[in-house]
Amino acid sequence: MTSFQAKVLEIVRKVPRGRVATYGQIARLAGSARAARAVGQLMANNTDPKSIPCHRVVGATGALIGYAFHGIVMKRKKLLREGVLFKDARVDLTTSLWNH
């Protein structure tokens, strides 16, 4: 595991229930602002969703992009159960974005 990957996992662990972070936000916080796709790949390969809440990471527009554990329908259900607010099919980032 690279130091970037370790930082990403550490940051994603900190995203609290009821909040989301974007792939780009996580990349910036991990020190590589242009690595949003790398964050996405790491989340897609997550094998420990209980300690690394990858369902709380969404696209820059609030879009639910991919989810390895039963797809985006399950991702949406999990986020709704946690109190994340939506506008249509996207997370309402004005109310649910994590302010680290």
Phi, psi torsion values for 81, nearest 5 degrees? -60, -30
Mean pLDDT of 29-47: 96
- Selecting among 39, 54, 84, 93, the annotated active-site residue is 54
The answer to pTM > 0.75 is: yes
Per-residue pLDDT at 34 exceeds 90: yes
pLDDT value for 92: 98
Residue 27 corresponds to which tokens in the numbers above? 């990349």
Alpha helices in 1-100 (DSSP H): 3-14, 23-29, 36-44, 71-81, 93-96
Mean pLDDT of 1-29: 97
**Residue among 88, 46, 81 nearest 64 (CA):** 88
Residue carrying the six token digits 């970037």:
4
* Residue spans per domain, the chain: 3-96
Per-residue pLDDT at 40 exceeds 80: yes
Q: Is 54 a catalytic residue?
A: yes
54 phi-psi bin (left φ>0, alpha ψ -120 to 50, beta other)? alpha
Count the neighbouring beta carbons within 10 Å of the beta carbon of residue 86: 15
- What are 45-90's pLDDT values in tens digits? 999 999 999 999 999 999 998 877 788 999 999 999 999 999 999 9
CATH fold for domain 3-96 = Arc Repressor Mutant, subunit A (1.10.10)
